[in-house]
Amino acid sequence: MRMVSQRQSKLTLVAISLLASLTLLVAVPLFADDSSGASAAVAGVAILIFAVIGIALYVYFALAIQTIAKKTNTENDWWAWIPIIQAVLLLNIAKKPVWWIILFFIPLVNIVIIVITMMAVAEARNKPSWWGILMIVPVVSLIVPGYLAWAD
């Protein structure tokens, strides 16, 4: 139990540090000596909003992948929090070769590989494989990892 609380406190510390850094990023244009301070402040707020949304999406996907890894008894579920290693974890869940990680970086090929991998992840969770095909649909691709992670 103590390890969980240490992990949560570290995660909280990282989140607070990121928000503090983004706040400073927004505040800098406010103290600039030019006359376009208002437009710079609006741009800073927009950057802050996009950063918060990006962080929230990253946390959502990491939690979903970690939950899928736990439910499929895949080792190293904490890899879900490390950006590129996250794809290796998905390949491990899908029981695909790890060298496929190279294919994730080739434009257009990566779309096919993501679909194939997510189809295998869906099958590993005893869900229909067509859930992996839904990863090419823009808004639905946000729902698929959550469904595969938390649906019974």
Which pLDDT does position 1 carry in this prediction?
Answer: 47
Report the alpha-carbon distance of residue 81 to residue 16 in Å, rounded.
17
Token readout for 107 is 């434009």
Name every residue whose Cβ is closer than 8 Å to that of residue 29 and which is 6 or more positions away in sequence: 37, 40, 41, 43, 44
The pLDDT mean for the chain works out to: 86
Report the alpha-carbon distance of residue 76 to residue 110 in Å, rounded.
24
- Exposure pattern of 107-139 as b/e (b: 16+ CB <10 Å)? eeeeeebbbbbbbbbbebbebeeebbbbbeeee
Among 25, 28, 86, 81, CA closest to 50: 25
Report the alpha-carbon distance of residue 71 to residue 63 in Å, rounded.
12
User: Could you tell me if 27 and 44 are in contact, meaning their C-beta atoms sit under 8 angstroms apart?
Assistant: yes
Report the alpha-carbon distance of residue 74 to residue 71 in Å, rounded.
8
Among 121, 86, 150, CA closest to 78: 86
Q: What is the pLDDT of residues 71-117, one digit of tens each?
A: 999 999 999 999 999 999 999 999 999 999 999 999 999 999 999 99
Token readout for 126 is 């005893």
How many structural domains are present in the chain?
Answer: 1
Residue labelled with tokens 């609380």: 5
pLDDT average, residue stretch 114-122 = 96
Provide the whole-model pTM.
Answer: 0.74
Range of the domain at 72: 2-150
